[in-house]
Amino acid sequence: MRHIILATLIIFASGCRKTSYPVHGTILEIRHKSNEFLIHHDEIPGFMMAMTMPFKLADSLDIYRFVIGDSLKFRLEMKEEKAFAASFQLLGKGTLPESDNIWDDEYSPLEIGEIFANATFLDLDSHNVSLSDSDGKFRFISYIFTRCPMPNMCPAVVVKNRYLAETFAETVEIEFILISFDYIYDTPSMMKSNYSSPTKSYPNMKFYSSVGHLNDIFMLAGQSFVSFWGVDENDIGHSLRSVIIDPERRLMMAYEGTEWRAEAAERDIRSLLKAYH
């Protein structure tokens, strides 16, 4: 039954006004293993601001035709449970943006078993909430932003967390925390308008805003090995990773990108809870 619910939620979360969008951008990375391009793209009018993000490629595309720095036109095809790029046209060479390295020693990614620093954010009612407030519980932490419209990225992460929150609704030893790294646009009221419904259904599901807590989001994201950039320029690029931390804030497990399965995370959580009790 939960598998049916999860599929339904994905379909609901990915509703779009159109099914295909023209895109112009420049290839920053070619990921052969996952069949993706990391592309810095221009604004997609009526759908998405300019940003850097990975695009899944149509199965028919010959990925070896392209190189880093290629300027492209293509179609972003939106399906119910995924989005992919197709119909590529090579335009020439594009301009590679300078990448901001947000990390320094203070914000370096943690290894398994290392302890997260405390960090403070805002809940949906604009109250300060610290990571230490939930010490004594496991935490499943993910990073999102509200303006990410790709169904297989941030919305998919929200759906998977909702599945987990429902699955562990009667388990008081774990919380599911989703933090926005858009420290300008994603105010508590903006996040509340997007996410108040699941928090009412599942009190163990928390959404936090990083507005006014810039150092906290850079620190916690850095320790989680999550990168983001371009917030001030309204040209966001980001990676995605979810982490499990234990009651003492030690890093226990990590889930890269958005390809992880909620059912696999469920099994891992059950194993961790069993080991601690």
pTM of the model: 0.69
* pLDDT score of 274 more than 60: yes
The C-alpha atoms of residue 45 and residue 23 are separated, in whole angstroms, by 9
Residues in CB range of 254: below 8 A, 6 or more apart: 112, 224, 225, 241, 242, 243, 244
Structure tokens at 181: 């790294």
The C-alpha atoms of residue 71 and residue 272 are separated, in whole angstroms, by 46
- Give the pLDDT confidence score for residue 4 in this predicted structure: 34
Specify the residue for token string 């895109």: 23
73-100 pLDDT, tens digit each:
999 887 766 778 999 999 999 887 665 4
- Give the pLDDT confidence score for residue 228 in this predicted structure: 84
Specify the residue for token string 């040209």: 235
Residues facing 37 on adjacent strands: 30, 55
Residues facing 38 on adjacent strands: 29, 54
- 2-93 domain in CATH 2.40.50.320? yes
Structure tokens at 197: 């419904």
Specify the residue for token string 């302890």: 115
Q: Where does 105-276 sit in CATH, by number? A: 3.40.30.10
Percentage of residues in the chain with pLDDT exceeding 70? 87
Distance between start and end Cα atoms, the chain: 28
Confidence band (pLDDT; 50, 70, 90) for 258?
confident
128-187 pLDDT, tens digit each:
999 999 999 999 999 999 988 777 778 899 999 999 999 999 999 999 999 999 999 999
Per-domain boundaries in the chain: 2-93, 105-276
Confidence band (pLDDT; 50, 70, 90) for 59?
confident
* pLDDT score of 127 more than 80: yes
- Give the pLDDT confidence score for residue 106 in this predicted structure: 58
- Give the pLDDT confidence score for residue 205 in this predicted structure: 97
